[in-house]
Amino acid sequence: MAYRISKEYVCGSAIEDRADALAEKLRALADGGLDLEMIVSRRDQSGWALMFVSPLRTLEEIELAQKAGLRKEGTMQTLRIQGPNVSGLGARITTALAKAGISLRGYWAAALGDQCVTNIAFDSNEDQDKAKTILERELAE
């Protein structure tokens, strides 16, 4: 099975560190019809937490996230890599990008059985495009 590599946006925001803050944001996104595949939230500092959601693939989806209270400036350009879970995949991906001189803004990955998904955030659209080309070549082998 080949790897599927897609360009996506991850929208993030600071939220209050209270029991219903994350649920409130996620309800607003669900009520707007956004179908999320990734949600990350963690406490950042006393009284605050960070949340990130994806995929956001269109301007309309980004606008919906803004209406739910997520900040546009919290939006990151990412690549989503989905495919077979093989030993050493993370090292292979990061080594290929490092050799090309691409710095990563963020990296997160998960495996479920024989499948995995990796999301990589970049500092610019140019880095995102360059990384997509490199990884399509690297993961086709």
28-74 pLDDT, tens digit each: 999 999 999 999 999 877 789 989 998 888 888 888 888 888 876 66
Q: Are residues 48 and 91 in the same domain?
A: no
Share of the chain above pLDDT 70, in %: 96
Q: For residue 18, give the CATH number of its domain.
A: 3.30.70
Range of the domain at 104: 76-140
Work out the mean pLDDT of the chain and round it to a whole number.
91
DSSP one-letter code for 74: G
Q: Are 68 and 103 found together in one domain?
A: no
Least trusted range by pLDDT, from 11-15, 18-22, 133-137 = 11-15
Short-list 72, 93, 103, 89, CA closest to 9: 72
Closest residue by Cα to residue 70 from 93, 45, 53, 47:
53
How many Å is the Cα radius of gyration of the chain? 16
Residues 63 and 22 in one domain: yes
Residue 7, pLDDT score: 92
Total domains in the chain come to 2
